[in-house]
Amino acid sequence: MPSAIFEFFSDHTFRTVALGSGILGIVSGALGTFAVLRKQSLLGDAISHAALPGIALAFLLTQSKATLILVLGAALAGWIGTYFITLILQKTHLKDDSALGLILSVFFGFGLVLLTYIQKQPYANQAGLDKFLFGQAAALLERDVISMSVLSLFVLLVLLLFWKEFKLLSFNPDFGFSIGFPVKILDFMLTGLLVLAIVIGLQTVGVVLMSAMIVAPAAAARQWTDRLGRMVLLSAIFGALSGVIGAIFSSTTAKLPTGPTIVLCLTVFVIISILFASQRGLLWRWIKEQRNRRRLQVEAVLNDLLILAEQHGDIQHGHPIEVLRTMSIGHGGVDRSLQELRARNWVNQLPSGNWILTKEGYNWAKKLSGKEGNS
């Protein structure tokens, strides 16, 4: 296996593919964080679908398949789509989900029509435009990766430069406006960067699944941290790893489209994060709940013994386990609780098999029941 990976990275084509996919993962992960935090996850989906007619039109107008030209068309169409969404929200009573859905499907439909039309034309170099649907990392050329790198560097630099402003915009735009920041311009800038992040990945991931690159890494990253900076970093790392792994798999397997493979990798990251993240993870929470439950069960048995002791007016009077089980109906775990309490020296088992509180256990039971009474 290690030698296979070594072979992979020593191959020039594969190195190009891995580099390109990694870069797009970094940028979409970073920008996706802001989209998710601003509750604009669906906007990414609308932008990527809206980009398709832009790609087709750019090809029809220039007869060129140069990445930069197609990406320019994609960005322009994506931006026009976003503009229309804003326009619909301003001028009609439609809510944002309807506006997004409308633009997404209309633009995507138009793009598909154009794509079909192009395929029926006798152009010499029409082949390969359909890779923009589901993405094809194997088709990445060195000059594509160079264009992607330059764009990515620009996006990340602007993001870092205006970090404070974008954070303010994402958390509390009204307040930002009140202290003198032009939130409309900032919003335009951040959305513009999102459009760029999306078009950078279109050739590799495809318009259909590109939004996963925006949403999934950020969603996974959110599980692990409570700091914006770390979230952006983690999201970029998840995006890059998924990009590289997915691209390797799809490039080494015949007819395996890259987009879906990358998305499957992302899904693994998301599932692991949702289950195992240290604070928010479901497993962690489940363990905490179980611990809590055990503690309550133990305290219940201790309290029951106290009640029995006080009923008899005699702490030395033993009680059979069946009595305690009856008292614990509904929460159970009596046997384990008694073992735990004995380990702490709070209860003792008499030779007859009956259970009694020790002096120490009695004091603790008093303390715990008193606390409950107060709360």
> Does 156 interact with another protein (rule: CB under 8 A)?
no
Residue of 174, 322, 343, 353 interacting with another protein (CB under 8 A): 174
- What does the alpha-carbon distance between residue 362 and residue 346 come to, in Å, rounded to a whole number? 7
Site string for another protein, 180-199 (x = CB under 8 A): xx------------------
Of residues 225 and 242, the one with the C-beta less far from another protein:
225
Among positions 19-58, residues that touch another protein (CB under 8 A) are 37, 39
> Does 235 interact with another protein (rule: CB under 8 A)?
no
Only one of the segments 218-226, 317-325, 343-351, 353-361 lies at the binding site for another protein (rule: CB under 8 A); that segment is 218-226
> Does 162 interact with another protein (rule: CB under 8 A)?
yes
> Does 222 interact with another protein (rule: CB under 8 A)?
yes
Of residues 153 and 160, the one with the C-beta less far from another protein:
160
Tokens 């995507």, residue located: 108
Tokens 């630099």, residue located: 157
- What does the alpha-carbon distance between residue 368 and residue 375 come to, in Å, rounded to a whole number? 11
With CA atoms as reference, report the closest residue to 70 among 197, 199, 204, 259.
199
Q: Is the separation of the CB atoms in 217 and 269 below 8 Å?
A: yes
DSSP character at residue 253:
S
Q: Is the separation of the CB atoms in 177 and 168 below 8 Å?
A: no
List CB contacts of 340: < 8 A, sequence separation 6 or more. 298
| The token pair that represents 54 in the structure block | 């832009």
Burial of 178 by CB count in 10 Å (0-12 exposed, 13-18 middle, 19+ buried)? exposed
| The token pair that represents 270 in the structure block | 């998301």
- What does the alpha-carbon distance between residue 89 and residue 291 come to, in Å, rounded to a whole number? 49
> Does 322 interact with another protein (rule: CB under 8 A)?
no
Q: Report, in Å, the least distance between residue 231 CB and another protein.
A: 5
Of residues 98 and 172, the one with the C-beta less far from another protein:
172
Total number of residues binding another protein (CB under 8 A)? Answer: 27
> Does 154 interact with another protein (rule: CB under 8 A)?
no
Only one of the segments 49-57, 131-139, 174-182, 312-320 lies at the binding site for another protein (rule: CB under 8 A); that segment is 174-182
Of residues 203 and 223, the one with the C-beta less far from another protein:
223
> Does 294 interact with another protein (rule: CB under 8 A)?
no
List CB contacts of 282: < 8 A, sequence separation 6 or more. 274, 275
- How many Cβ atoms sit within 10 Å of the Cβ of residue 94? 14
> Does 120 interact with another protein (rule: CB under 8 A)?
no
Only one of the segments 55-63, 111-119, 175-183, 363-371 lies at the binding site for another protein (rule: CB under 8 A); that segment is 175-183
| Cross-strand partners of 332 | none
> Does 231 interact with another protein (rule: CB under 8 A)?
yes
Q: Is the separation of the CB atoms in 139 and 128 below 8 Å?
A: yes
Q: Report, in Å, the least distance between residue 167 CB and another protein.
A: 8
Of residues 110 and 284, the one with the C-beta less far from another protein:
284
> Does 170 interact with another protein (rule: CB under 8 A)?
yes
Of residues 226 and 322, the one with the C-beta less far from another protein:
226
- What does the alpha-carbon distance between residue 135 and residue 55 come to, in Å, rounded to a whole number? 13
> Does 6 interact with another protein (rule: CB under 8 A)?
no
Q: Name the residues that contact another protein, by CB under 8 A.
A: 37, 39, 161-165, 167-168, 170-172, 174-181, 222, 225-228, 230-231
